[in-house]
Amino acid sequence: MSERSVSKSREQKRWYTVLAPEQFDRQELGETLAEEPQQVVGRTITTTLDELTGDSNANNTKLTFKITDVGSDSAYTEFIKYELTRDYLRSLVRRGASKVEASITVLTTDDYRIRVQPVALTTKKADRSQEKAIRRVMIDKVHAAAEERTFEAFVDAIVDGNLSSAIYGDAKEIYPLRRVEVQKLTLEARPREVAAEEEASVDVDADEVAVDADE
């Protein structure tokens, strides 16, 4: 492609300002370039929590947003992932101590399916039964949090550290802990997707019943 063609193509494109959801005060996340508005939908943008809040202590937390709608010159997003940086997670690990992890899939009160991955770091090496008990606390606390929160409120509980604190409070009674973090949260399915899956499951069950009856 000639330089003139490249220049003309760029002139035909326009910049869209990418905005965070209302939950994050519609703050500007950046800009994206496209010829048509529909080309912007589906794109993702990642930023750090400190860039949104101004809290320098939150530079180890990454947030990912997905563009779902476009206005005249703005692109609107939904939150899809919370994740701690690898460097920060590595810094938490100590030799001679235990690292207890869990991966838990839950449904919030407004039918968002999310996967949550907490991690607990002990002061010294815990035995297998203690690690199992700590993991059980993680699972129970994550389920309890989802059962009483919307997706937005659940995300807030992680960003604010409330869920980590709740896990820490119970798990430290099992074995001394140095730290508890939620290392990752991922949006797996939205309410309409969950409903479609449930409807498909009901249809399959109905078909199986019909086959059994014919037999």
pLDDT number for residue 5: 47
Which mean pLDDT values do the consecutive 10-residue runs of the chain (215 residues) have?
50 91 95 94 96 89 97 95 96 95 98 98 98 98 98 97 98 97 98 94 60 55
Helix and strand element counts for the chain (H, E): 7, 9
**What is the spatial distance between Cα 89 and Cα 101, in angstroms, rounded to a whole number?**
12
Residue 210 inside a domain? The answer is no
3-class SS of residue 215:
coil
In a domain, 192, yes or no: yes
Its domain, for residue 42, covers 10-83
Mark which of 54, 83, 112 sits at the end of a domain: 83
pLDDT at position 20, please? Answer: 97
**What was the pLDDT predicted at 92?**
93
Residues 138 and 41 in one domain: no
Q: Please tell me whether residues 22 and 122 are part of one structural domain.
A: no
Out of 52, 83, 114, a domain closes at 83
Q: Indicate if 99 and 71 belong to the same structural domain.
A: no
Residue 2 maps to a domain: no
| Number of domains into which the chain is organized | 2
pLDDT of 206 reads: 52
In this structure, the answer to whether residues 89 and 190 fall within a common structural domain is: yes
The position carrying tokens 């939908």 is 41
Asked if residue 201 is part of any domain, the answer here is: no
- Which pTM does this prediction carry? 0.87
